[in-house]
Structure 1
Amino acid sequence: MSDLGALSYYLGIEVRHGNKTLTLGQRAYASKLLEWSDMAECKPCVTPMEERLKPTKVSTAARVNTTLYRSILGSLRYLVHTRSDIAFDVGYVSHFMEGPREDHWAAVKWLLRYVNGAVDQRIVFSKTGESRLQLTVFSDVNMARDIDGRRSPSDVLVFFGSAPIS
């Protein structure tokens, strides 16, 4: 067995070791995804989904390539490992994998535009000895937001941070 040194890249996740931080990101993976989906030169946007967008499974819009739709969503799901800001939106557009339509595809393209605008976003962990890891969790339920099934999807937001040792 040989020592390969500090971990720098693992399954598409870039690992950077700083003096007091450890960062995880997927810049190269996100860039490849944008190139593969022909969205590398798109105009970036600042939100992961349009504010009032509510696509439904019962859509009259034209069908789109199901294989391409599923492939891009699978890649976006992998990107969620270091990009929790898109987790809800990826999950939302995943509801339409069975029969994607033009309006569903428009939501995925909007999401890819958001990824293009924040391709360098990373998770940062503190490595200081004077602090301990603090886990903060928030949850929310949106009553009957799902238009198709009138279900109440729940959201969970998890923060990892440093807290001083007392």
Structure 2
Amino acid sequence: MGDLGALSYYLSIEVKRGKEELTLGQSAYASKLLEKSGMTECKPCETPMEEKLKLMKASTTAKVDATLYRRIVGGLRYLVHTRPDIMFTVGYVSHFMEDPREDHWAMVKRLLCYFKGTVDHGIIFPRTSGSRLQFTVVSDVDMVGDIDGRRSTSNMLVFFGSAPIS
């Protein structure tokens, strides 16, 4: 087996090496997902989800194409690998994959509009020399925010940076 050189693309994850950082992203995959959903011409929005939005599984709105809904949400779940900013929203819309309705689909469409404006975002790993990696973990819970099951939804963010070695 021969040396294939520096990693640049693996399983739809783009690896870009800069002088000061290493970036992981999935802009091509996100663009394909926008195409599959028919949202390439949508207007970008600044947030992935409306504030304080609560949806129920027992929605009375019209049913939507469950296959399309599951395909798009599955694609969004794969994008979470390089886009932790959408983790909570994707987990939330995943609750409705059994019987998706118009209001559930509207939330997925808003998330896709968010992608339209942030398609080039990803995870940046800064290069460090003479320093060690420092992690900061922040967690949050919405305290019984699931209307259907009365369960809490939790989320976690991991920040890392470098700290000088002393």
Match of 1:14 in 2: 14
Match of 1:53 in 2: 53
Match of 1:116 in 2: 116
Match of 1:104 in 2: 104
Structure 2 CA distance for aligned equivalents of residues 112 and 81 of structure 1: 16
Match of 2:33 in 1: 33
Report the Cα offset of residue 113 of structure 1: 0.3
Structure 1 CA distance for aligned equivalents of residues 51 and 5 of structure 2: 45
CA shift in 2, pair 1:91/1:57, >3 Å: same
SS at match of 2:3: coil
TM-score when normalising by structure 1: 0.96
User: Paired residues, what number?
Assistant: 166
Match of 1:89 in 2: 89
SS at match of 1:125: strand
Structure 2 CA distance for aligned equivalents of residues 142 and 51 of structure 1: 12
Match of 1:132 in 2: 132
Segment drifting more, 78-87 vs 48-57? 48-57
Deviating above 3 A after TM superposition, structure 1's stretches of 4 or more consecutive aligned residues are none
Structure 2 CA distance for aligned equivalents of residues 4 and 155 of structure 1: 38
Segment drifting more, 46-55 vs 67-76? 46-55
Match of 1:153 in 2: 153
SS at match of 1:138: strand
Report the Cα offset of residue 20 of structure 1: 2.3
Structure 2 CA distance for aligned equivalents of residues 97 and 154 of structure 1: 19
Structure 2 CA distance for aligned equivalents of residues 161 and 25 of structure 1: 19
Report the Cα offset of residue 119 of structure 1: 0.5
Q: Structure 2: where are the runs of 5+ without partners?
A: none
Q: Structure 1: where are the runs of 5+ without partners?
A: none
**Matched residue type, 1:84:** P
SS at match of 1:139: strand
Report the Cα offset of residue 112 of structure 1: 0.4
Residues 12-54 of structure 1, C-alpha deviations (whole Å, 9 max, x = no match)? 0000111221110111111111111111110000000111321
Segment drifting more, 87-96 vs 48-57? 48-57
Match of 1:76 in 2: 76
TM-score when normalising by structure 2: 0.96
Structure 2 CA distance for aligned equivalents of residues 130 and 150 of structure 1: 48
Report the Cα offset of residue 62 of structure 1: 0.5
